[in-house]
């Protein structure tokens, strides 16, 4: 029996694809091993969103080749560079573009070396590698076409997964132990637009919430221009939906948002926070980008002022990365890297103070958490998350008193806080 291992790079949408690839290879008779050194074949599911991700993807594959492994290259690198890769990386056994993963076992049998990307469906799988949390990709691709972004080129136009397929997949993931379902896509707010659905996201969340065994449903990646009062009402009132939303705004300056090609511009962001601000129970995650071509000091000050108002609980701050093939790459008035770094650090320090204040307000309170594992540094502590914390990006709840079974929910009294984490005891 041939053995394989998988390296999943990039975003959680790519992780879902990796799980799908695992499922297909296992069904084709391969055995998955977690220790790469024991695997004959390594699948590297690549990311190519930014040049640094491209470099990491290629470096990872070259290291596997040096160890004498048979390497399969999947993911966005194949979309970005297509069959050029055959000449550049002849050591790679197979290049499989997004949308072709079901054909990997047959392609290996037939000694094929390249499967061109196909953008015609969204993968569904029941295999889950993340324990009591499962990512559920409800759409693929994006039709927003922001000027700095390669996703539409790497993943195609928006394709929504049929509702029945989403519900079947949710039930399958719950049967395998998922208690938290995290909805992902490039812009969840656009879900269903390509298949004639209105309020598609709201409807599918309602339906998923009727499935027994699910405790938390989390909504990630909603474009501000897609945010509806109905979605906020649902997040605020449905007990299974986490009081949380990920709403990437990128900037607040009308001039910069127009240069970025952001749908709805500054008006969409103002409207989104007019809708959200009254709901203090809903925690907002967002991302902003500094240094986009054309951003001047005045624009930056406008962004700083907005962030200082404290509308956002969790914030990711990125510096503009000029990607060949995007309209922003060719724009004049590029901002120098030193200025980008200064602006990024400035926003980060403002947000750190906001985060500390918000977390500090929870001391003495009791909150429900999902206990996931031991703390990464010591088994004397447990790692958990609250409903307002997404995995990997929003900090954790560190438990220093009380016993727990991983994958279960417990009431925790918060006693201390760190910059981005909470510390408490199970009661
Ligand atoms: S909405 Fe997001 S994924 Fe879509 S084009 Fe814009 S930045 Fe890219």
Residue 302 in any domain: the answer is yes
Q: How far is CA 48 from the centre of its chain?
A: 15
Specify the pLDDT at position 126. 85
- Counting the structural domains of the chain, the total is 4
Per-residue pLDDT, averaged over 86-105, amounts to: 96
What is the SS3 assignment for 318?
strand
In this prediction, residue 83 has a pLDDT band, given cuts at 50, 70 and 90, of confident
Residue 267 lies in a domain: no
pLDDT above 90 (res 15): yes
3-class secondary structure, 94: strand
Residues 77 and 103 in one domain: yes
Mean pLDDT of 405-424: 97
Same domain, 285 and 341: yes
Atom from ligand 1 closest to the CA of residue 248: 2
Q: How far is the CA of 146 from the centre of ligand 1 (A)?
A: 6
42 forms beta bridges with 5, 71
Domain end, chosen from 361, 378, 411, is at 361
The answer as to whether 184 is a domain residue is yes
Q: What is the reported pLDDT for 333?
A: 86
Whether residue 172 sits in one domain with residue 68:
no
d(CA 231, CA 203): 9
Q: Is residue 268 part of a domain?
A: no
Q: CA angle, 100 as apex, 93 and 217 as ends, to 5°?
A: 120
Ligand 1 atom closest to Cα of residue 155? 3
pLDDT 10s digits, 296-332:
999 999 999 999 999 999 999 999 999 999 999 999 8
Same domain, 255 and 355: yes
Residue 158 contacts residue 187 (beta carbons within 8 Å):
yes
Mark whether 222 and 257 lie in a shared domain. Answer: no
- Which one of 85, 115, 145 terminates a domain? 115
What residues does ligand 1 touch, defined as CB less than 6 Å away?
Answer: 142, 144-146, 149, 151-152, 186-187, 223
pLDDT for residue 235: 98
Which CATH number belongs to the domain containing residue 43 in this structure? 3.40.50.12160
200 and 176 together in one domain: yes
- Asked if pLDDT for residue 212 goes beyond 80, the answer is yes
Residue 103: is its pLDDT beyond 80?
yes
The answer to whether 288 and 299 have CB atoms below 8 angstroms apart is no
| CATH number for the domain harbouring residue 407 | 2.40.50.140
Average pLDDT, integer, range 328-351: 96
Is 60 a member of any domain? yes
CATH code, domain with 164: 3.30.750.210
Do 353 and 413 lie in a common domain?
no
Instruction: Tell me: do 241 and 293 sit in the same domain.
Output: no
In angstroms, rounded to a whole number, what is the distance separating the alpha carbons of residues 209 and 230? Answer: 16
Helix, strand or coil, per DSSP, at residue 351: helix
Tell me: do 285 and 214 sit in the same domain.
no
Q: For the chain, what is the mean pLDDT? A: 97
- Residues 354-385 pLDDT 10s: 999 999 999 999 999 999 999 999 999 999 99
Q: Are strands 133-137 and 180-184 parallel, antiparallel or unpaired?
A: parallel
d(CA 293, CA 159): 30
Question: Does residue 210 share a domain with residue 229?
Answer: yes
Domain membership of residue 332 (yes or no) is yes
Q: Tell me, yes or no, whether 129 and 240 share the same domain.
A: yes
Point out the domain boundary residue: 115, 147, 182: 115
CATH number of the domain within which 289 lies:
3.30.750.200
The model carries a pTM of 0.96
- Assess if residue 31 is contained within a domain: yes
- Asked if the structure places residue 391 within a domain, the reply is yes
Pocket mutation for ligand 1, best pick of 79, 142, 145, 269 (most atoms within 8 Å of C-beta): 142
Among 144, 188, 292, say which to mutate for ligand 1: greatest number of ligand atoms within 8 Å of CB. 144
CB count, 10 Å around CB of 281?
11
Cα-to-centroid distance, 334 and ligand 1 (Å): 20
Residue 326 belongs to domain spanning: 248-261+273-361
Verify that 196 and 252 share a domain, yes or no.
no
């Amino acid at each position: 029996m041939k053995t394989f291992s998988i390296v999943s790079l990039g975003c959680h949408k790519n992780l879902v694809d990796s799980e799908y690839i695992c499922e297909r290879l296992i069904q084709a008779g391969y055995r998955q091993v977690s220790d790469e050194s024991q695997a004959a074949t390594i699948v590297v599911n690549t990311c190519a969103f930014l040049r640094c991700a491209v470099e990491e993807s290629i470096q990872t594959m070259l290291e596997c080749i040096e160890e004498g492994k048979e390497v399969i290259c999947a993911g966005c690198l194949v979309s970005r560079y297509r069959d050029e890769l055959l000449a550049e990386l002849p050591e790679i056994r197979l290049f499989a573009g997004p949308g072709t993963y079901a054909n990997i076992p047959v392609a290996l049998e037939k000694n094929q070396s390249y499967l061109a990307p196909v953008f015609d469906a969204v993968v569904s799988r029941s295999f889950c590698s993340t324990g009591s949390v499962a990512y559920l990709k409800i759409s693929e691709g994006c039709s927003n076409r922001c000027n700095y972004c390669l996703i539409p080129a790497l993943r195609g136009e928006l394709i929504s997964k049929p509702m029945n397929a989403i519900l079947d997949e949710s039930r399958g993931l719950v049967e395998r132990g998922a208690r938290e379902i995290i909805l992902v896509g490039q812009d969840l707010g656009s879900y269903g637009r390509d298949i004639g659905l209105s309020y598609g996201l709201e409807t599918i969340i309602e339906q998923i919430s009727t499935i027994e065994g699910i405790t938390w449903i989390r909504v990630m990646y909603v474009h501000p221009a897609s945010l509806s009062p109905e979605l906020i009402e649902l997040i605020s009132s449905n007990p299974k939906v986490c009081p949380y939303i990920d709403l990437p705004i990128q900037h607040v300056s009308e001039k910069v948002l127009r240069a970025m090609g952001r749908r709805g511009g500054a008006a969409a962001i103002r409207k989104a926070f007019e809708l959200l601000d009254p709901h203090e129970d809903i925690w907002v995650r967002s991302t902003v980008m500094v240094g986009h071509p054309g951003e001047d000091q005045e624009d930056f000050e406008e962004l700083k002022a907005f962030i200082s108002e404290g509308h956002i609980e969790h914030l990711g701050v990125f510096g503009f990365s000029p990607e060949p093939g995007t309209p922003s790459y060719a724009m004049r008035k590029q901002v120098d890297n030193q200025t980008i770094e200064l602006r990024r650090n400035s926003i980060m320090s403002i947000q750190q103070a906001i985060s500390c204040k918000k977390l500090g307000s929870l001391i003495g309170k009791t909150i429900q958490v999902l206990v996931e594992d031991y703390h990464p540094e010591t088994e004397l502590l447990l790692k958990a998350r609250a409903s307002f914390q997404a995995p990997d990006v929003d900090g954790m709840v560190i438990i220093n008193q009380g016993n727990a079974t991983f994958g279960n929910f417990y009431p925790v009294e918060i006693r201390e806080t760190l910059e981005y984490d909470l510390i408490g005891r199970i009661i």
